[in-house]
Amino acid sequence: MLVALLLLAQLQPLPPTLIPLASDEGQKLLVESTARRAYFPLASQFLTQRSTSFCGVASSVMVLNALPLEAPVAQQWAPFRAFTEDNIFNDETRKTLTPDFVAKGGLTIEQLTFLLSSNHVDAKATHADTSTLEQFRAQASQALAEPDRYVLVDFLRGKLGQDFGAHWSPLGAYNAAADRFLVLDVARFRYPPYWAKAEDLFAAMNTFDQDAGATRGWVVAAKAQGAPARVEIPSFAHKILRYAVAAGSIVFLLGAAAGALLTRWRMRRATSV
């Protein structure tokens, strides 16, 4: 009965141990946080995973688009460039990891690290059982306080008082006074972004992943040395492009109007004859 209700629900209620970002307390934690360099770049690229197994893919796409990396052309938006849940699987990646494989069971920590690395990211993974709460807190909070560094966490939802299943999401900030991390949950159809206690989040990562044969953990990601930089459109060139598009639109409209007037004139002339 409980499972049926969960499946019918549009959004799961957060347990009392988690603080919604949208609440007054959650917003205050963000404002007072000093380790929040990741929040706004990630929020600008927030993505809902397209299937229940694509949490790791969606989290990676958010990080890739937030990093100053050259993105491939997005087929659905060509000629514009962006990382998507499709083109993140480039030719190199598909030799080892395919979308169909991920759709069947998600990503282990090693697979997500490989996915990022094959897209010009310096990705360092840590299994929770090889580290400590103090080390996680120090590494993650330091990364979140620096530009162009991001943290992705692999955890078991039940350890946070949520419903069921394992999950990937990026972290957006750390509030030292509350000792809480902001989890930007990519399954927005299940849970909103929330603040979790560092101790609880570490315990949720320090769980055994049967697919990996190891515990879950976290990945710190940054642009790899020598990676191609994001393609920026110079402001002057951008203005010229905008003017050219506007001029082209005006010419098209004038041509259409002239054609319509010419057609009406010909029709009237034919009628009068």
Catalytic choice (55, 120, 127, 154): 55
| Angle of CA points 189, 100, 153, to nearest 5° | 50
Q: What is the end-to-end Cα distance of the chain in Å, rounded?
A: 80
Contact 84, 45 (CB under 8 A): no
Q: Among residues 211, 212, 215, 218, which one has the least CA distance to residue 183?
A: 218
Lookup result for tokens 């049926």:
4
Please state, in angstroms and as integers, the Cα–Cα distance from residue 15 to each residue in 27, 157, 175, 194, 214, following that order. 18, 11, 19, 10, 27
Catalytic choice (120, 127, 154, 185): 185
Please give the Cα distance from 92 to 112 (Å, whole number).
14
Please give the Cα distance from 273 to 260 (Å, whole number).
20
The verdict on whether 185 is a catalytic residue reads: yes
Q: Which residues lie closer than 8 Å to 32 by C-beta, 6 or more apart?
A: 175, 177
The verdict on whether 55 is a catalytic residue reads: yes
Catalytic choice (127, 154, 167, 209): 167
Q: Give yes or no for a cis peptide into 79 (omega within 30° of 0).
A: yes
User: Which residues participate in catalysis according to the annotation?
Assistant: 55, 167, 185
